[in-house]
């Protein structure tokens, strides 16, 4: 079992944070230009798309409770050694406190020393740092709005 947890506190509302996490036009601003195809209903398919339309990651929505919680079944689709590890699970939890939200992202998989978790451990702090900057009124951090791959 491998697990990565990142916690960040953002000056925003749960509704705005949920919107930023789930709407493609918002995702593109802080997720290296990528977006997610999904209707955010339980059992629906979920896919992360590169700017050129290729699928980066895919899976389905296991749980959804807007604007508080979502659980995504998540498999990498473009790096064979990561795809071979199978499905991981990514959980978003939003806890409001006054005019701040605590966002906890937990990404885990039932594989020891998983390469996927190692890879996302480098990505989440960058993506969530840029998301926080935008929601607090700034422009996206440089380069997170275009594909880095």
Partner 1 sequence: MAGSKFVYVVIIRSTPEKIWEALTKPEFTRQYWAGTTQKSDWKKGSSWAVYTPDGRLWDSGEILEVDYPRKLVLTWRKEPGKFPEMTAEGYSRLTYELTPDPLGIKLTLTHEMDVENSKLIGAVSQGWPSVLSSLKTFLETGTPLENSGKWPEGL
Binding site residues, partner 1, CB under 8 A: 6-11, 98-100, 102, 125-126, 129-130, 132-133, 136-138, 141-144, 148
CB 107 within 8 A of CB 88: yes
What is the nearest approach in angstroms of partner 1 to the Cβ of residue 6?
Answer: 8
- Nearer residue to partner 1 within complex by CB, 6 or 26: 6
Residue 37: CB atoms within 10 A of its CB come to 13
- Nearer residue to partner 1 within complex by CB, 43 or 142: 142
What is the nearest approach in angstroms of partner 1 to the Cβ of residue 38?
Answer: 25
What is the nearest approach in angstroms of partner 1 to the Cβ of residue 36?
Answer: 20
Across 86-123, b (16+ Cβ under 10 Å) vs e yields: ebbbbbbbbeeeeeebebebebbbeeeebbbbeebeee
- Nearer residue to partner 1 within complex by CB, 84 or 100: 100
- Nearer residue to partner 1 within complex by CB, 36 or 144: 144
What is the nearest approach in angstroms of partner 1 to the Cβ of residue 105?
Answer: 11
C-alpha distances in Å from residue 128, one per residue of 24, 47, 56, 113, 123: 15, 19, 18, 23, 9
């Amino acid at each position: 079992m491998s697990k990565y947890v990142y916690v960040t506190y953002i000056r925003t509302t749960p509704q705005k944070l949920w919107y930023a996490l789930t709407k493609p036009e918002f995702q593109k601003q802080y997720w290296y230009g990528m977006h997610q195809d999904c209707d955010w209903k339980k059992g629906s398919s979920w896919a992360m798309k590169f700017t050129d339309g290729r699928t980066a990651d895919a899976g389905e929505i296991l749980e959804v409770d807007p604007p508080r919680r979502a659980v995504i079944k998540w498999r990498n689709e473009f790096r064979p050694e990561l795809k071979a590890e199978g499905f991981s699970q990514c959980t978003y939890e939003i806890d409001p406190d006054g005019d701040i939200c605590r966002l906890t992202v937990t990404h885990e998989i039932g594989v020891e020393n998983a390469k996927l978790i190692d890879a996302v451990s480098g990505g989440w702090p960058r993506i969530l740092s840029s998301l926080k900057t935008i929601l607090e009124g700034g422009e996206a951090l440089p380069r997170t709005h275009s594909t880095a791959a």
